[in-house]
């Protein structure tokens, strides 16, 4: 059964059809919209002037968007869809369907919007990357190769061990313990069930604070050959701490947490790859770090571990890297740099960004540190004793 | 529009944005505008059902057991001590447990400071507006409260929580809007000084290297300080002496002191 709006449908039916098509378009564009949000938007239409474009846009933002990043992408998708810029087979555009409700625009257009063909906006993969389209760039995203099962399992084990050794700060949450301070209320509650006699004492002490990983992953051209292993590590680290966030950077930085979090490893490869720009450009680590701390400053807290996965090749001034890492380092628990070369024989940090970053790092690790059975605790122990963050020989 | 839709659709509104941009103030203003009670739950790490939802008045229960243990059967005593008389209503329960004539504003402030477990607790409350107390049964809201949830984005909230909410992002206001806020909140402030203050704050926010940018709350603090000092305009010396009201990070303070005074007039 076709769900497309038909000219004979009542106006309310037609607009609901269009909403369904818009939501489908958003999903194809990589914006995750649930049924509940779609129903909310339909409900909102009953309370707003649906013919007022900006009012309708606001309602769509409020009901469908769930983060600032999604709001930006939703705005682009809104313009593309409701301006008739997208012509998709089977989905008539309001511009083409004279019977469909038209919206008043409250914006003054300074120039006519170019009409795009569906094939230009929606690549065959069905994923649209708004804001990264360029006439000269390849249409497909960053292709990520999968890693072998054995290496994948080893990295996951390493990520779990890494979380355990970085969660060292006591938090404010209290957990039951044999020794610790007396929890009077818990003792009362417990003993009430035993007729009110004080038979057992309940003690609690602070649990370890939950580590939040902020993972900054270099996806520039120089990291291409390490993509498979680095992405597997990034995915594994994201999985071990629910509040972790992932940012991909090259010359710009963008958050890809949703793409990593929503899928298992295999599907995440495609979802993240489609989101990223092709990996042919250079790297600007310093400016990206600056943008990161500028926009995500609130996430830099005392139980945050910043993990930078990069080879350190940088086109920008290395002084910016040093300055930004110094500032970030003051605000977080630790800054760990993972270089794909760190465990190679004879490795010495020579890339500008890495040399500049060294004094501000807590440890410099390689992916091999996560894969091997060598315990990570001594490496992180070195961090706590503030010894030089140089790669340590494995024994 | 976000608040309007939240109230009309009966869905919580998740407001995210930089600290000090007026997220909490939105809920307070809403309560004042609607003439209803504001019930505030301030979130923190370790917040649990006992502090957010309900608890039993244990000392009172113990005393009741002692009083009745000789005269009543154990089951009668148990029934007595787990009745509503011994229930301590915390903010979430208070918001649901009101009468049908009032629709309170429930502010769940800085939810990103709480643990994921607490988010799980919120799911039942926010989706069905009901709370299940094993000893008493399910308490369902007679009238759905207007729920405003704020987050400073120190961590990502769970998808499940986001799905149950409408969403709004509050950014920094522009010059005109900030001047308007200053004039509205501090009516005694001279219009020219209000604009000067807002302009200076806007310039500081433009600094890309700042660790913490001043929010509207800091602007209001600074304006109030200047008013208390009876100043009619800002100058270099005044900025140097009072910058701590505006910039609350030692590194930022150094940075702003080094850069901005040159842009200011030496005196009014």
pLDDT in tens, B198-215: 998 998 888 767 777 888
For residue B44, list chain A residues with Cβ-Cβ distance below 8 A: 172
Query: pLDDT per residue over A127-163, tens digit each?
Result: 333 333 333 334 346 777 788 888 888 888 888 888 8
On chain A, the residues whose CB falls within 8 A of the CB of B7 are none
Looking at the domain assignment, is residue A259 inside a domain? yes
Alpha-carbon gap: B19 to the closest alpha carbon of chain A (Å): 8
C-alpha closest to that of A92 among A199, A14, A190:
A14
Q: Given a cut of 50, is residue A393 above it in pLDDT?
A: no
Assigned token pair, A82: 């409701």
Averaged confidence pLDDT in chain A: 75
Structurally, chain A folds into a number of domains equal to 3
- Is pTM beyond 0.90? Reply is no
Same domain, yes or no, for A275 and A357?
yes
The CATH number assigned to the domain with range B2-53+90-170 reads 3.40.50.300
Task: Using alpha carbons, list the distances in angstroms from residue B147 to B5, B38, B93, B121, B167.
Answer: 12, 10, 13, 15, 12
- Report the alpha-carbon distance of residue B88 to residue A18 in Å, rounded: 49
Q: Which of A55, A58, A212 sits opposite B155 (nearest CB)?
A: A212
Co-location of A283 and A184 in the same domain:
no
Q: Where are the beta strands (DSSP E) in B123-173?
A: 130-133, 137-140, 146-151, 166-170
Mean pLDDT value across residues B30-42: 91
Q: Which one is predicted more confidently, A99 or B122? A: B122
Q: Given an 8 Å threshold on Cβ–Cβ distance, is A299 in contact with B155?
A: yes
Enclosing domain of residue A45: 11-121
Residue A79 lies in a domain: yes
| ipTM of this complex | 0.77
Q: Does residue A313 fall inside a structural domain? A: yes
Question: Residues 31-70, chain A: which have Cβ within 8 Å of B?
Answer: 34, 36-37, 40, 43-44, 47-48, 55, 58-59, 61-63, 65-68
Are A301 and A333 in a shared domain?
Answer: yes
Paired tokens of A122 = 């929606």
The verdict on A106 and A198 lying in the same domain is: no
Shortest distance, CA B192 to any CA of chain A (angstroms):
30
Task: Specify the pLDDT at position A79.
Answer: 87
**Per-residue pLDDT band at B110 (split at 50, 70, 90):** very high
Q: Which two tokens stand for residue A186?
A: 């818990």
CATH of the domain at A360: 3.40.50.410
Q: Do A189 and B58 touch (CB under 8 A)?
A: yes
Asked whether residue A191 is domain-assigned, the answer is yes
pLDDT at B168 over 90: yes
> Which of B45, B55, B251 has the CB atom closest to A173's CB atom?
B45
* A360 vs A323: CA distance, rounded Å: 9
Is A219 part of any domain? yes
Residues A220 and A360 in one domain: yes
Assess whether A232 and A379 both reside in one domain.
yes
At A85, the pLDDT band (50, 70, 90 cuts) reads low
Residues A237 and A330 grouped into a single domain: yes
The verdict on residue A289 lying in a domain is yes
CA distance B49 to chain A (A): 13
| Domain contains A272 | yes
pLDDT at A379 over 60: no
State both tokens at B156.
């990502």
Cβ pair A320, A287 in contact under 8 A: yes
| A18 neighbors A1 (Cβ within 8 angstroms) | no
DSSP A25-66: HHHHTT----HHHHHHHHHHHTTS-TTBHHHHHHHHHHHH--
Please judge whether A40 and B164 are an interchain contact, meaning their C-beta atoms are less than 8 angstroms apart.
Answer: no
Whether A195 is covered by a domain: the verdict is: yes
For residues A259 and A190, membership in a common domain is answered with no
Task: Answer yes or no: do A269 and A372 share one domain.
Answer: yes
Distance CA A339, CA A259 (A): 23
For residues A289 and A365, membership in a common domain is answered with yes
CB contact under 8 A, A209 and B155: no
Q: Which residues contact A245 (CB under 8 A, 6 or more apart)?
A: A212, A213, A214, A215, A238, A255, A257, A296, A299, B155, B156
Q: What's the confidence (pLDDT) of residue B14? A: 94
Separation in Å, CA of A151 to nearest CA in chain B:
29
A345 and A197 part of one domain: no
Are A187 and A200 within one domain? Answer: yes
């Amino acid at each position: 059964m076709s769900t497309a709006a038909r000219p004979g449908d009542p106006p309310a039916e037609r607009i609901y059809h269009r909403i369904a098509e818009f939501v489908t378009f958003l999903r194809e564009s990589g914006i995750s919209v649930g049924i509940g949000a779609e129903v909310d938007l339909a409900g909102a239409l009953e309370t707003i002037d649906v013919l007022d474009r900006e009012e309708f846009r606001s309602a769509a933002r409020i009901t469908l968007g769930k983060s600032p990043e999604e709001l930006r992408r939703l705005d682009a998708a809104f313009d593309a869809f409701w301006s008739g810029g997208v012509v998709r087979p089977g989905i008539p555009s309001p511009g083409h369907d004279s019977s469909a409700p038209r919206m008043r625009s409250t914006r003054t257009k300074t120039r006519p919007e170019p009409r795009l063909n569906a094939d230009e906006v929606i690549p065959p993969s069905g994923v649209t990357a708004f804001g990264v389209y360029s006439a000269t760039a390849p249409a497909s995203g960053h292709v990520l190769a999968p890693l072998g099962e054995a290496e994948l399992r080893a990295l996951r084990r390493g990520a779990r061990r890494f979380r355990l050794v970085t969660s060292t700060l006591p938090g404010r949450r209290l957990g039951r313990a044999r020794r610790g301070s007396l929890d009077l209320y818990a003792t009362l509650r417990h003993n009430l069930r035993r007729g009110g006699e004080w038979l057992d004492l309940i003690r609690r002490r602070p649990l370890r604070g939950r580590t939040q990983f902020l993972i900054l992953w270099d996806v520039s051209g120089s990291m291409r050959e390490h993509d498979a292993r680095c992405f597997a590590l990034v995915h594994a680290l994201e999985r071990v701490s629910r509040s972790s966030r992932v940012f991909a950077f090259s010359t710009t930085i963008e958050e890809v947490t949703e793409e990593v979090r929503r899928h298992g490893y295999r599907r995440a490869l495609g979802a993240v790859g489609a989101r990223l720009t092709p990996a042919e450009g250079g790297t600007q680590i310093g400016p990206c770090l600056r943008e990161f701390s500028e926009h995500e400053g609130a996430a830099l807290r005392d139980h945050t571990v910043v993990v930078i996965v990069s080879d350190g090749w940088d086109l920008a001034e290395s002084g910016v890297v040093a300055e930004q890492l110094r500032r970030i380092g003051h605000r977080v628990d630790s800054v760990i740099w993972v270089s794909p070369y760190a465990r190679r024989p004879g490795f010495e940090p020579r890339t500008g960004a890495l040399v500049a970053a060294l004094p501000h790092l807590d440890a410099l690790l390689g992916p091999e540190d996560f894969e091997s059975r060598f315990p990570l605790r001594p490496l992180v122990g070195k961090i706590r004793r503030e010894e030089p963050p140089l790669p340590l020989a494995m024994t | 529009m976000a608040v309007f839709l939240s109230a009309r659709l009966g869905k919580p509104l998740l407001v995210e944005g930089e600290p000090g941009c007026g997220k909490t103030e939105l809920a307070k203003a809403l309560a004042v505008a609607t003439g209803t009670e504001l019930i505030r739950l301030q979130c923190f790490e370790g917040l649990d059902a006992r502090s957010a939802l309900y608890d039993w008045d244990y000392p009172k229960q113990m005393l009741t057991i002692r009083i009745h243990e000789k005269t009543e059967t154990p089951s009668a005593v148990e029934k007595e001590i787990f009745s509503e008389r011994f229930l301590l209503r915390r903010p979430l329960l208070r918001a649901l447990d009101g009468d049908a004539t009032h629709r309170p504003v429930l502010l769940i402030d800085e939810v990103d400071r709480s643990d994921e477990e607490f988010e799980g607790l919120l799911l039942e409350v926010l989706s069905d507006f009901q709370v299940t107390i094993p000893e008493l049964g399910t308490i369902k809201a007679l009238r759905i409260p207007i729920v405003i949830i704020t987050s400073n984005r120190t961590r990502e909230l769970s998808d499940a929580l986001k799905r149950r909410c409408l969403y709004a992002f509050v950014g920094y206001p522009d010059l005109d809007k900030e001047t308007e806020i200053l004039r509205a909140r501090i009516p005694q402030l001279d219009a020219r000084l209000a604009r000067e203050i807002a302009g200076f704050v806007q310039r500081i926010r433009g600094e890309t290297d700042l660790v913490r940018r001043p929010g509207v709350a800091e602007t209001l603090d600074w304006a109030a300080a200047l008013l208390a000092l009876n100043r009619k305009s800002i100058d270099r010396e005044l900025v140097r002496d009072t910058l701590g009201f505006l910039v609350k990070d030692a590194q930022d303070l150094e940075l702003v002191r080094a850069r901005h005074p040159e842009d200011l007039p030496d005196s009014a």
